[in-house]
Structure 1
Amino acid sequence: MATECAAAADLAPGHRRKRARLGWDVAPATKAQIGTFCGQEVGDVTSLVLSAHPMDHTCSSLLSKGVACNASPPWREDDKDGHYVFAIGENLTSRYKIYRKMGEGTFGQVLECWDRESKEMVAIKIVRAVRKYSDAAMIEIDVLQKIARNDAAAKHCVQIRNWFDYRNHICIVCEKLGPSLYDFLRKTGYHPFPTDLVRELGAQLLESVAFMHGLQLIHTDLKPENILLVSLEHVKLPESKGGSLSRKLPKSSAIKLIDFGSTAYHHQDRSYIVSTRHYRAPEVILGHGWSYPCDIWSVGCILVELCSGETLFQTHENLEHLAMMERVLGPLPRHMLERADHHSQKYVRRGRLNWPDGAATRESIQAVVKLPRLQNLVMQHVDHSAGDLIDLLQGLLAYEPSARLTAQEALSHRFFTRYDNRWSR
Structure 2
Amino acid sequence: RQQHQQQQQQQQQMPMEGVAQEGDATASSSSSAALAGAVGKRRRRAGNPVVKLSLKLLDTYKTINNKYYARQKSKASAPKPAQSRMVYNDGYDDEAGDYIVREGDIIYERYKIAVRPGSKTPLLGKGSFGQVVYAFDLKENIGVAIKIIKNQKHFHEQARTEIELLRRFLLVPRLPRVPVPHSDYHRDSFLPCTEFVEQSNIVRLLDSFVHRNHQCLVFELLPLSLYDLLKFSKFKGFSLTLVRKLTRNILYNLASLRQSNVDVIHCDLKPENVMLIKHNEYRIKVIDFGSSCSSSHKPFSYIQSRFYRSPEVLLCRHYSYAIDMWSLGCIMVEMHTGSPLFNGKNEFEQMVKIAQMLGLPPSHMIASAGSKSKVKSMFRKVDGKWALKNPSDGYVVHNPRALSMAIRKPNSQEAEQEYADMESLLAGMLALDPDERFSPEQALHHPFFSRTP
Equivalent position to 1:230, from 277, 288, 299: 277
Contact kept, 8 Å, 2:269 with 2:308, in 1: the verdict is: yes
Q: 1:132 aligns with which of 124, 149, 154?
A: 154
Shift of 1:344: 2.3
Partner of 2:307: 278
C-alpha spacing 1:374/1:300, structure 2 compared with 1 (3 Å): same
How many residues of Structure 1 are paired with residues of Structure 2 in the alignment? 324
What pairs up with 1:179-258 in 2 under 5 angstroms? 179-214=224-259, 215-231=262-278, 233=279, 251-258=280-287
Name whichever of 295-304 and 147-156 sits farther off: 147-156
The question of whether the paired residues in 1 share the 8 Å contact of 2:99 and 2:214 is answered with: yes
Q: Following the alignment from structure 2 to structure 1, what is the Cα–Cα distance between the partners of residues 200 and 392? A: 45
Q: 1:104 corresponds to which residue?
A: 126
* Alignment match, 1:392: 425
Assess if the C-alpha contact under 8 Å between 1:288 and 1:339 holds in 2: yes
Q: State the 1:271 CA deviation.
A: 7.4
For the pair shown, the structure with the greater C-alpha radius of gyration is 2
Q: Gapped runs of 5+ residues in structure 2?
A: 1-88, 115-121, 175-197
SS of the aligned residue for 1:80 comes to coil
For 1:142, the equivalent position in structure 2 comes to 164
From the two aligned structures, give the one with the greater strand fraction: 1
Residues 160-175 of structure 1: matches in 2 within 5 Å? 160-175=205-220
Cα deviation code 1:141-193 (max 9, x no counterpart): 00110112226664211001111100000110111001111122124321211
Q: Deviation digits for residues 328-387 of structure 1, max 9, x if unmatched?
A: 11333233223333132212211323323xx1699x98xx99997111112336622111
Residues 1:343 and 2:373 are matched in the alignment: yes
Tell me what 2:178 maps to.
none
1:293 corresponding residue in structure 2:
322
Could you tell me how far apart the structure 2 residues matched to 1:141 and 1:270 are?
15
Aligned counterpart, 1:92? 107
Question: What are the residue-to-residue correspondences of 1:321-360 with 2, within 5 Å?
Answer: 321-341=350-370, 342-346=372-376, 347-350=378-381, 351-356=385-390, 359=391
Evaluate the alpha carbon distance shift between residue 77 and residue 113 of structure 1 in structure 2; reply closer, same or farther with a 3 A threshold: closer
What are the ranges of 5 or more consecutive residues in structure 1 without an aligned counterpart? 1-73, 234-250
Q: What SS does the corresponding residue of 2:451 show, helix, strand or coil? A: coil
Distance in 2 between the 1:284 and 1:150 partners?
29
Q: Which runs of 4+ in 1 moved over 6 A?
A: 368-372
Larger % of helix: which? 2
Distance 1:115 1:414, change over 3 A: same
CA distance in 1, matches of 2:330, 2:434: 15
**C-alpha distance 200-151 of structure 1, shift in aligned 2 (>3 A):** farther
DSSP 3-state at the match of 1:306? helix
C-alpha distance 143-169 of structure 1, shift in aligned 2 (>3 A): same
**Corresponding residue for 2:443?**
410
Note if contact 2:341-2:406 (Cα within 8 Å) is conserved in structure 1: no
Q: Please tell me the residue identity of whatever aligns with 1:389.
A: M
Structure 2-normalised TM-score? 0.67
Does the 8 A contact of 1:270 with 1:290 survive in 2?
no
Structure 1 residues 372 and 96: alpha-carbon distance in aligned structure 2, compared to 1, 3 A threshold? farther
| 1:353 alignment partner AA | A
Quote the RMSD (CA, aligned, Å). Answer: 2.4
SS of match in other structure, 2:171: helix
Q: Distance in 2 between matches of 1:112 and 1:77?
A: 18
What amino acid maps onto 2:240 in structure 1? T
1:272-297, CA deviations, whole angstroms, 9 ceiling, x for partnerless residues? 23211111110111122111111111
- Per-residue Cα deviation, 1:217-238 (whole angstroms, up to 9, x for no partner): 111110111111112x3xxxxx
